[in-house]
């Protein structure tokens, strides 16, 4: 049995306290580069109160709906981002993963990659999924490299699916199968 399912060497996956997390999310989304790379939604500075109410609402839903974690550094326990599995298709063992590192000084240093590896370990070892999917803007090369390091393969491009700052971007779909993940551990 793996007793350290949620703990890596530099980060761990932890609970999302609605109060602490909504304040952090509200602060991170003032960084428009972060939010425009994170999702296809229009950038908008939602209040911490509103974010908190969504989070509480989600947390009151049945547990199998989604699994979101905060990413905290080891050993100083700073909240630097989030990672979550959602949109489960339980009958087929498929789910989507989303990740964001809101604290910029932790970009490009491997923290996100380690957190993603923990999320995959959780997906395959705890939820017993068959595969995990994700979508990322194709010009977010830093993120794509990180996902490839964690074992994801590119499965295709949705052409011209995003328009940001006067440019047309493709959305890259990536996936990892359970056996590919197992192989990456060898």
Q: Where are the beta strands (DSSP E) in the chain?
A: 11-14, 67-73, 79-89, 94-101, 131-137, 153-164, 167-177
Please tell me whether residue 183 binds another protein under the rule CB under 8 A.
no
Please tell me whether residue 74 binds another protein under the rule CB under 8 A.
no
Question: Residues binding another protein: what is the number (CB under 8 A)?
Answer: 23
Please tell me whether residue 177 binds another protein under the rule CB under 8 A.
yes
CA distance 99 to 115: 8
Provide the β-strand partners of residue 102.
none
Nearer to another protein, 53 or 158 (CB): 158
In terms of Cβ atoms closer than 10 Å to its own Cβ (0-12, 13-18, 19+), residue 101 is: buried
Q: Which of 42, 45, 62, 75 forms a contact with another protein (CB under 8 A)?
A: 42
- Say which residues have a Cβ less than 8 Å from residue 129's Cβ, sequence separation at least 6: 93, 94, 95, 123, 178
Question: Among residue numbers 133 through 172, which ones bind another protein (CB under 8 A)?
Answer: 133, 155-163
Nearer to another protein, 12 or 131 (CB): 131
Please tell me whether residue 175 binds another protein under the rule CB under 8 A.
yes
Q: How far is the CB of 132 from another protein (least distance, A)?
A: 10
CA distance 34 to 32: 5
Q: How far is the CB of 90 from another protein (least distance, A)?
A: 9
Please tell me whether residue 40 binds another protein under the rule CB under 8 A.
yes
Find the radius of gyration of the CA atoms of the chain. Answer: 16
> For binding to another protein (CB under 8 A), which residues are involved?
40-42, 89, 91-94, 130-131, 133, 155-163, 173, 175, 177
């Amino acid at each position: 049995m793996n007793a350290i399912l949620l703990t890596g060497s530099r980060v761990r996956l932890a609970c999302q306290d609605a109060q602490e997390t909504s304040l952090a999310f509200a602060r991170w989304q003032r960084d428009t580069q972060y939010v425009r790379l994170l999702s296809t939604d229009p950038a908008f500075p939602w209040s911490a109160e509103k974010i908190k109410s969504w989070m509480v609402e989600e947390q009151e839903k049945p547990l199998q709906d989604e699994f979101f974690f905060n990413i905290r550094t080891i050993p100083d326990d700073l909240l630097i981002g989030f990672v979550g599995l959602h949109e489960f298709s339980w009958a087929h063992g498929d789910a989507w993963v989303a990740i964001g590192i809101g604290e910029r000084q932790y970009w490009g240093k491997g923290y996100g990659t380690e957190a993603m590896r923990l999320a995959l370990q959780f997906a395959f070892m705890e939820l017993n999924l068959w595969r995990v999917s994700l979508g990322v803007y194709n010009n977010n090369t830093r993120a794509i490299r990180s996902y490839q390091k964690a074992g994801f393969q590119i499965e295709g491009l949705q052409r011209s699916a995003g328009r940001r700052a006067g440019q047309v971007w493709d959305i890259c779909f990536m996936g990892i199968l359970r056996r590919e993940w197992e192989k990456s551990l060898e």
